[in-house]
Amino acid sequence: MRYIILIAVLCEVSLLSAQNQVPDSLRTFRDSLKEIEEVTITGSRIAQLKKNSVVSVSTLDQKLFRAISASSISDALKFSPGIRMETNCQTCNYTQVRMNGLGGSYSQILINGRPLFSSLMGLYGLEQIPTNIVDRIEIVNGGGSVLYGSNAIAGTINIITKHPEYNFIEVSDKVSIIPNGPVEQAVQVNGAYLSKSKKSGFLFSGMNKTRDGYDRNKDGYTEIPRINNSLLGINAFQKIGKSIELHADFWVLHEQRQGGQYWNGDPQLQADQSEFRNQITSIGQFSGIWNSRNKKWNVQAYTGYQKTNRHHYTGLDHADAWGKTNNVTLQSGAQFSFVQKIGQKGKSTLIGGLEHYYDVIQDEIRGYDYFVDQNITQVAGFLQDQFDLGEKWSFVAGIRTTNHSKVQNLIVTPRAALLFKPNGQWQFRLSYGNGFKAPQVFETDMHIAFANGGISQIRVDKDLKSEKSHAYSAQVNWNRRRKRMLYSSELSLFHTQLLHSFVLNEIPSGDPNKTLLLRTNGSNAEVSGLSESVRVRWHKYLQVDLNLTYQESRFTEAQQWSLEVEPIKQFLRTPNVYGSSTISIFPEGSWSGSLNCVYTGSMLVPHFGGAPELDHDEVLHTKSFWDLGLRAEHAIHIHKFEQTVRIGLGIQNLFDSYQNDFDTSKYRDSNFVYGPPRPRTVFVDLKWVIGDKH
């Protein structure tokens, strides 16, 4: 209850601070309510109205990115219900997204509907991809999205990039300052050209972000690493006649990241402890779409790749710990959909396709006798039928079969979902999805870290078996328009059962400077909870969004992650309560303001000994965090060339709600990090746009 009271107080404070004179809206009220009629594609692999999607889909768009001043995808995802963004390394700050209480490897991340986001790219990719190339992010919580791949146990995140819709040029610059810390600068450039016939066009994107290292506790070792991150990309399309459309996308990302001691020096020769990453990633996609003139048939053929080359160092006491990583993923496939009427008001939408997926990774550190050579091939087919029985009932049944090179038998993953719309205000959904995770070697948790006065390294059980899952969910949606008001709410219940779940257990090590963790099968596990999302919009004056999730995550049998600590059943690094909120004032006016908050509840965090502050392993019960942000913006419109200049000013983590018990010295446990990703930060952002989409 105190969380709800605090949010209400914040909302009241924001209203009192608003100006008495309301500026003219840039759009009509009808345009401001388009989210009710929003088109999504992630729920069932076809474009359809969000309210008609049998699987519930959440959307993050440019309005939210602007309200929270999000520079990257990782900044935005934490404002979606059931999602947490988590920092997992004090030295390099790699992150993972947690959906419905499950780790990052349980979520399927897509780029324009394609699974090109590899496990390696997942370590830093969500922070590397800027929001200026993103049109929106569609999110499906739970296993109802299993048609995209069997790893979608916790859910699916589909990053849908911008495509040219009108002519414009956009330049933005955001400067962020941590008091007594470094300056971060992010420069972004976008532009698009659309032919007069609107049959062809292209969009280019560029970004550069730089930041020095930040040492919070003044021990000479960073809590936030130095980065230099750049992106160049282009999207293009060509229509041929009235039936064929071709799309091509290409991006190149380059990042240098270094943390630890002497974060601007040679990581081996100058630093007693350091992590260094120099990584280049290229991503390309090509697709062709054919639509029949009677609009019954849609056929797509697509192919794409992701290639990452990485030169890295993870060393202590000037160890020879240089390594190289090469990763290539290839995906190609074809998909069709066919729409057939059933009776007078019903219809059937049949979707099917074939996909081929190839993922090869080689990761080597000779000084640690560490070498991963993983080669995975998957061939999959999927078939789904959606029955719309009049205006009230819809039912989806689908199945995906996968031949996985690491699994002996054919893998069959079914899904089913039901939608009931008794009227225009209420929607009821039920869904079930079956999933699996193959016993592959390289995953997000394979990151080499520092612990117990040395390094921690993960080995894989030679008898590791596939992990299977059953995911159930139910949603109740309600929305209503009333004169100048819009109300909407979604209550979601979810339950996921994991069979032979993957766990990390400490095993004896013959080297006192090395901690060994075994990736093996633990007991079964269950994650259950509920998530509530509420939106209230008052014409052009105010919009309030609230998300709150409560869950419990437990193994059926206690798991021993450390040889010095009693086994426990609870999931580590998983709070029972978390949520977010945004309050936007005059969101489309010449003057606008916003308040946002991310709440992270108390959780159990593992802590390996070795630092001066701790000589033994322990499990810490953390405090809760309120990460509060403010932003104000003024937009100036210049009619000549349809120019708009936006000037924004704000602060993130206003109350400096930040971890205060970091380990010190080179012997710290680098995985002992939790809470908000940055301390109090002041920022200024400027944006200049030439062009008008109207």
Please check whether residue 392 is in contact with residue 377, taking contact to mean a CB–CB distance below 8 angstroms: no
Most confident of 42-51, 296-305, 510-519: 296-305
Which pLDDT does position 7 carry in this prediction? 38
pTM, entire model? 0.89
Which pLDDT does position 447 carry in this prediction? 66
- pLDDT surpasses 80 at 145: no
The residues, any chain, with a CB within 8 Å of residue 290's CB and separated by 6 or more, are: 243, 244, 297, 298, 299, 300
Neighbours of 694 (CB within 10 A): 6
Please check whether residue 362 is in contact with residue 404, taking contact to mean a CB–CB distance below 8 angstroms: no
**pLDDT band at residue 624 under the 50/70/90 scheme:** very high
Length of the chain: 694
pLDDT in tens, 561-610: 888 899 999 999 999 999 999 999 998 889 999 999 999 999 999 998 88
- pLDDT surpasses 80 at 150: no
- pLDDT surpasses 80 at 454: no
Of the candidates 628, 629, 627, the one whose C-alpha atom is nearest the C-alpha of residue 676 is 627
- pLDDT surpasses 70 at 406: yes
Neighbours of 616 (CB within 10 A): 12
Percent of the chain with pLDDT over 70: 90
- pLDDT surpasses 80 at 29: no
pLDDT in tens, 216-259: 999 999 999 999 999 999 999 999 998 999 999 999 999 999 99
Dist. CA 503–CA 283, nearest whole Å: 31
Domain containing residue 297: CATH number: 2.40.170.20
- pLDDT surpasses 50 at 67: yes
Helix (H, G, I), strand (E, B) or coil at 76: helix
Q: What is the rounded average pLDDT of the residues 631-643?
A: 92
- Which of residues 313 and 13 earns the better pLDDT score? 313
For the record, the structure tokens of 364 come out as: 């080597």
pLDDT in tens, 426-436: 999 999 988 88
**pLDDT band at residue 75 under the 50/70/90 scheme:** very high
Which pLDDT does position 444 carry in this prediction? 58
- Which of residues 266 and 48 earns the better pLDDT score? 266
Q: What is the rounded average pLDDT of the residues 487-516?
A: 86
Q: What is the rounded average pLDDT of the residues 136-156?
A: 78
Which pLDDT does position 561 carry in this prediction? 82
- pLDDT surpasses 50 at 453: yes
**pLDDT band at residue 144 under the 50/70/90 scheme:** low
For the record, the structure tokens of 553 come out as: 């995550």
Which pLDDT does position 11 carry in this prediction? 39
pLDDT in tens, 329-374: 999 999 999 999 988 888 999 999 999 999 999 989 988 888 888 8
- pLDDT surpasses 50 at 5: no
- pLDDT surpasses 60 at 114: yes
- pLDDT surpasses 80 at 511: no
Dist. CA 73–CA 65, nearest whole Å: 9
Which pLDDT does position 256 carry in this prediction? 96
Domain range for 362: 2-690
Q: What is the rounded average pLDDT of the residues 138-143?
A: 84
Structural domain tally of the chain? 1
Which pLDDT does position 457 carry in this prediction? 76
Which pLDDT does position 445 carry in this prediction? 56
Helix (H, G, I), strand (E, B) or coil at 503: strand
For residue 31, the surrounding DSSP H or E stretch is helix 29-32
Neighbours of 1 (CB within 10 A): 5
Dist. CA 18–CA 7, nearest whole Å: 17
Angle, CA of 154, 493 and 496, to the nearest 5°:
40
- Which of residues 153 and 395 earns the better pLDDT score? 395
Q: What is the mean pLDDT of the chain?
A: 87
Which pLDDT does position 450 carry in this prediction? 76
